[in-house]
Chains A and B, each alone.
Chain A
Amino acid sequence: MFPLRIAGLRFAPEGRAVLDGVDLELGGEGITVILGPNGAGKTVLLRLLAGLLPATGGTLAWGDSPLPDGRLAMVFQQPMMLRMSVYTNVEFALRPQALNAAERRRRAQEVLERVGLADRACDCARLLSGGERQRLALARAWAMRPRLLLLDEPTASLDPSATEQVERIVREIRTEGAKVLMTTHNLGQATRLADDIVFLAAGRVQEHAPAQRFFAHPQSPAARAYLQGELPWRIAFDR
Chain B
Amino acid sequence: MTATLLDALALLGNFDHRLLEIVGLSLRVSLSALAIGALLGLPLGAWLAVADFRGRGALIVALNALMGLPSVVVGVLVYLALSRSGPFGSYGLLFSPAAMIVAQSVLVVPLIAAVSRQIVEDAWKEYAPEFSVIGIGRPQAVMLLLADCRFSLSVATLAGLGRAMSEVGAVMIVGGNIDGYTRVMTTAIALETSKGDLALSVALGIVLMSIILGLNVVAHGVRCWAARRYG
Contact = CB atoms under 8 A, between A and B. Distances in A.
A124 B150 CA distance: 14
Contacts of B231: 81, 83, 124-127
Given A70-B135, A83-B148, A96-B134, A52 B230 contact: no
A79 B131 CA distance: 11
A126 B137 contact: no
Given A124-B229, A127-B231, A74 B137 contact: no
A73 B140 contact: no
Interface in A33-75: 47, 50-52, 70, 72-74
Contact of B133 (A52, A81, A84, A95): A52
Residue in A83, A93, A127 with the greatest tally of chain B CB atoms within 10 Å: A83
Contacts of A126: 230-231
B225 to A, nearest CB: 12
A47 B134 CA distance: 13
B147 interface: yes
A127 B229 CA distance: 8
Size category, A interface: 20 to 34
B229 A52 contact: no
Contacts of A47: 129
A76 to B, nearest CB: 6
B135 A52 contact: no
A145 to B, nearest CB: 13
A80 interface: yes
Nearest to A94: B134
Interface of B: 126-127, 129-130, 132-137, 140, 144, 147-151, 226, 229-231
10 contacts: A76-B129, A82-B127, A82-B144, A83-B148, A83-B149, A83-B231, A92-B144, A93-B134, A96-B134, A127-B230
